[in-house]
Structure 1
């Protein structure tokens, strides 16, 4: 057997770099076999997997999202951690010098070797200064950073935030390793869960669903460590929403119901249960189950009507206010092609939505345009979609861009209209 790990020429291969950036282990294993001479049995031995499991992965079923397994693959095949969005592995030496053929995705910026001080990241400097110690000030600073990340994500999308979020997640993981006080460890696990969820969300918004699921799963693991069932419900709700985008409505429904079970077992607040009911409604609407979708929406409004001062809502669910419930109800009705009921709800929500939330406004403006088109109000729908297109120019959200391309396809029967043709040309000029 040759030296351990994949050859450097293969790690430098653009196809392999892309597969690692996407955490597409089917392609990684296929390339390892085709270009590196690693047959399934050798991959299995190196990664502590069974040959049958490797064969299933190479066929694309099921996908690998468990972080422990991902780390075993990185170590077994000697794939640098930063290529897979992991911390540096224990076997890694100094990073390649400039000009080295091994390249990695910049979204996975990782900690450089100690003999390259000029490449240290801000997170490394802060970690050294803090001595990786958990203190009340450190915890407050981390929580404030998370709140700021979410605000900026709402305003402009998360593409530019992702390297900082992942870097801070690694920093927190280092602090967790050094923390002795159980109260600090619990707080740090909660912060790590929030950062991992945010990292997953940025990948979801970028339509990189495999990477998103990996971070959402990591977030679940952190939350499970401290038995935070309400936060587990929150992450399952994210996974449910992603499943609707992947055209997996039954998965979306199952995940939303599992989220509700976790929330109820922990005494979840009415606001949280209302949000989770809406996520279930999205799944039913995607499955074209009108009756079940209406039941879930009714349940969401019932829960929301029970909200009282002093409920103790977690900070991460406070965004779900009356405006959000109104807009989401309209979106569910729009998915059910009940445009007459959907349009005024979405329009009402848009009037009350904060102007600074550019991505949310772009997303909801698209849905307003779609309901208007369902009502055959072509000129009005095109004007509304034009507003969404203008908002999209100020944000980084491939998810919103994909919705606009979807609208362009819906316009095909109306291309004889000058406004429809002009808007279609503008949207077509955008990269999907």
Structure 2
């Protein structure tokens, strides 16, 4: 076998504006064309380095077809030695304690894909190993309250990865944090209060790992982690985390009647001291469980309670980081999802449409999911072309996301769209899905 030396793209070419756009959007056809025309790198050499057939490189360079598989995207970036896969990368999300704003920018789709690909590339060898920012510091032999506070801040920073990546990428990192805390509880020394706070942190980390497991298609592991989180939350006396653990269980429970019962138990943990964001979160999960169980009146009551909780929220009000994502936009989306599930498209479509214009493309997994419910609402209303257009947008966003949920939802929508294959807009979306 002939060994080809690495095909590093010349620095001048990497700084070329057209090349940067092509790399940011994974338009490797343009990358190959520019590498040949401006740097003199032959298609045969590019093919050998990137493990692609030479004729495929030529076809891509002519603008025919795309590279969409995540593993292949990372392989090509490595072969071309794109520095750290970080071409044009914006400030890294885990370096800030601030949550990304829910703003919509039609031009930010490519940067969303870019950031997601960078982090996914890191997860191929483990997030903590690939990114120094995420390396876990040694656990001290004696853990104080201030030590737990530092660990909690680290957990909050790691949680930001879920804004961009799917559970298939983050599960190992979140599970590792949970296991490290569990080990510390066995081996370190504490005061009674620092131990209580560390047990509460364990409950929080179990929920985060459980969510990533569920999102990545590991439902059994997710349920086990949620049960662990309930035990830890009870031991720590943290009713907010106990309620959230129950809400997570309700969300993934297949039996609709049981899910409603679990969600009701989560809402029963609410007291006058429960932060408004947590109250809204538990009530909206209750609304969803009731909608899936076809209990419209109870669903509407839960939504009213969730909206009332957010209306009471004061600016700067303290609350747990794990509930900080719940805001008016998220609640409007959940309300639209509930009305979609209850087959009330006239209520669902305006809510989802307006909320999703405020929803950042960086949250690709979630936005693809939410668009799938908008597509369903359009289908229920008989607006087939609109449903097809929204589905196409969702497919674009979901491409490469390591989460089973967008495709599961979109498969249901596509099955309904196949009944309308006589429409050209529908055929185009079905072809995109097949590709």
Q: TM-score, normalised by structure 1?
A: 0.66
Question: Which residue in 1 is equivalent to 2:168?
Answer: 159
Query: Could you tell which deviates more after superposition, 150-159 or 307-316?
Result: 307-316
The 1:267/1:333 distance shift into structure 2, 3 A limit, reads same
Assess if the C-alpha contact under 8 Å between 1:270 and 1:306 holds in 2.
Answer: yes
Structure 1 residues 263-342: aligned runs within 5 Å: 263-264=270-271, 267-309=273-315, 311-342=317-348
Cα deviation, residue 279, structure 1: 1.2
CA distance in 2, matches of 1:126, 1:228: 25
The 1:262/1:145 distance shift into structure 2, 3 A limit, reads same
CA distance in 2, matches of 1:352, 1:367: 16
Assess if the C-alpha contact under 8 Å between 2:277 and 2:319 holds in 1.
Answer: yes
Question: Which residue in 1 is equivalent to 2:222?
Answer: 212
Question: Which residue in 1 is equivalent to 2:180?
Answer: 171
CA distance in 1, matches of 2:140, 2:316: 38
Question: SS at 1:262's partner residue?
Answer: coil
Assess if the C-alpha contact under 8 Å between 1:149 and 1:161 holds in 2.
Answer: no
Q: Does 1:201 align with 2:206?
A: no
Question: Which residue in 2 is equivalent to 1:389?
Answer: 395
Question: Which residue in 1 is equivalent to 2:193?
Answer: 183
Among 400, 416, 423, the alignment partner of 1:417 is 423
Assess if the C-alpha contact under 8 Å between 1:152 and 1:158 holds in 2.
Answer: no
**Per-residue CA shift, 1:337-375, capped at 9, x if unaligned?**
111110110111111123322222111121222212222
Structure 1 residues 115-134: aligned runs within 5 Å: 129-134=138-143
Among 334, 343, 357, the alignment partner of 1:351 is 357
**Per-residue CA shift, 1:19-58, capped at 9, x if unaligned?**
xxxxxxxxxxxxxxxxxxxxxxxxxxxxxxxxxxxxxxxx
Cα deviation, residue 412, structure 1: 2.7
Cα deviation, residue 126, structure 1: 5.6
The 1:305/1:424 distance shift into structure 2, 3 A limit, reads same
Question: Which residue in 1 is equivalent to 2:256?
Answer: 249
CA distance in 1, matches of 2:434, 2:242: 39
Query: Could you tell which deviates more after superposition, 293-302 or 196-205?
Result: 293-302
Cα deviation, residue 229, structure 1: 0.6
Assess if the C-alpha contact under 8 Å between 1:392 and 1:400 holds in 2.
Answer: yes
Cα deviation, residue 326, structure 1: 0.8
The 1:423/1:132 distance shift into structure 2, 3 A limit, reads farther
Among 236, 242, 266, the alignment partner of 1:226 is 236
**Per-residue CA shift, 1:91-125, capped at 9, x if unaligned?**
xxxxxxxxxxxxxxx99x9xxxxxxxxx9xx9xx9
Cα deviation, residue 328, structure 1: 0.6
Cα deviation, residue 303, structure 1: 2.6
**Per-residue CA shift, 1:372-416, capped at 9, x if unaligned?**
222222122111111110111142110111111111112132122
Cα deviation, residue 286, structure 1: 0.9
Q: TM-score, normalised by structure 2?
A: 0.65
- For structure 1, the residue ranges without an aligned partner over 5 or more in a row are 1-105, 110-118
CA distance in 1, matches of 2:140, 2:318: 34
**Per-residue CA shift, 1:42-90, capped at 9, x if unaligned?**
xxxxxxxxxxxxxxxxxxxxxxxxxxxxxxxxxxxxxxxxxxxxxxxxx
Cα deviation, residue 249, structure 1: 1.6
CA distance in 1, matches of 2:136, 2:399: 34
The 1:203/1:126 distance shift into structure 2, 3 A limit, reads closer
CA distance in 1, matches of 2:291, 2:330: 17
CA distance in 2, matches of 1:272, 1:403: 27
CA distance in 1, matches of 2:306, 2:164: 26
Cα deviation, residue 261, structure 1: 1.0
- For structure 2, the residue ranges without an aligned partner over 5 or more in a row are 1-122
Question: Which residue in 1 is equivalent to 2:411?
Answer: 405
